[in-house]
Amino acid sequence: MSLSNWTANVRRNGGFWRDGRWYDLHLERRMPLALPMLEELRDALPPLPPGTGVCDLACGTGNGAVTVLSAYPEVHITLVDEDPDLLSIAREKADALTLDAEPLQASIEADGEPIPGGPYDVVVASLALHAIVGHDIERAEAESRYDLLFRSIADRLAPGGHCFVGDHVGTLPLFAQLKAMERAGFRDVDCAWRQDDFFVAGGRVGE
Ligand SMILES: C[S@@+](CC[C@H](N)C(=O)[O-])C[C@H]1O[C@@H](n2cnc3c(N)ncnc32)[C@H](O)[C@@H]1O
């Protein structure tokens, strides 16, 4: 067994973010606003009746799904991520809360193609969109990728479906993300919460 060198843990900005168990252990300490962000995302949701189709997009270890299921355990949750190891942790966590979780391994391209699965009544994307769009890209490129990604989400929402984004503004400022949602066809777009660089925003598609 060859272990990773522990010193990544004691380097500035270090760590093992791609390891799901490590990620869950360290998220709160290293990114203290991530947990309040998830609570604010949960509280921004309208009441979700049993059977509501919810997608946790780029679910990682399933923290968005667990947040939704803790409040509304009778929804049907679809877990989407490209990483099979993270997806299996998400499945394990969701299965502790519901018999109705469906994992879907898929790589999302910010190319305007509808996201897989669905149609969904709700898409939640927690610390997800910036990861799909990519870090360290020019503002204009980021804006165009967000436009396409929001269109991909909108196209897989059922009439009246909602999208909730909890993220930080590392890739694109919040106002620009809200405008991208509007350009993709979302209405009632607004910010529910913001603290420092973290935020929760939402919008819905037409009936
Ligand atoms: C920072 S993690 C967030 C995970 C989780 N949503 C949370 O709130 O803890 C970003 C996730 O996006 C996934 N991801 C990144 N790019 C992706 C893509 N193009 N398609 C699907 N998943 C992607 C990664 O595998 C990772 O699980």
Distance 130 CA to ligand 1 centre (A): 9
Distance 88 CA to ligand 1 centre (A): 13
pLDDT tens across 78-107, in order? 999 999 999 999 999 999 999 999 999 999
CB-based contacts of 43, cutoff 8 Å, min separation 6: 192
The ligand 1 site (C-beta within 6 Å) comprises: 58-61, 63-64, 81-83, 86, 107-108, 126-128, 131-132
With the C-alpha atoms ordered 36, 87, 79, 179, is the resulting torsion angle positive or negative?
A: positive
pLDDT at residue 13 in the model: 85
What is the rounded average pLDDT for all residues in the chain?
Answer: 97
CB-based contacts of 69, cutoff 8 Å, min separation 6: 75, 77, 94, 97, 98, 101
Report the distance separating Cα 14 and Cα 17, nearest Å. Answer: 9
pLDDT at residue 136 in the model: 87
Report the distance separating Cα 55 and Cα 172, nearest Å. Answer: 23
Residues 31-204, CATH architecture: 3-Layer(aba) Sandwich (3.40)
Distance 21 CA to ligand 1 centre (A): 14
Nearest CA to ligand 1 atom 12: 58
Domain map of the chain by residue range? Answer: 31-204
User: What is the separation of C-alpha 168 from the centre of its chain, rounded to a whole number of angstroms?
Assistant: 11
Q: Is the pLDDT of residue 76 over 90?
A: yes
Which atom of ligand 1 is the closest one to the Cα of 57? 6
Q: Which of 66, 132, 145, 198 to mutate to test the pocket of ligand 1 (most atoms within 8 A of CB)?
A: 132
Q: What is the mean pLDDT of residues 135-143?
A: 94
Which atom of ligand 1 is the closest one to the Cα of 60? 27
pLDDT tens across 107-128, in order? 999 899 999 999 999 999 999 9
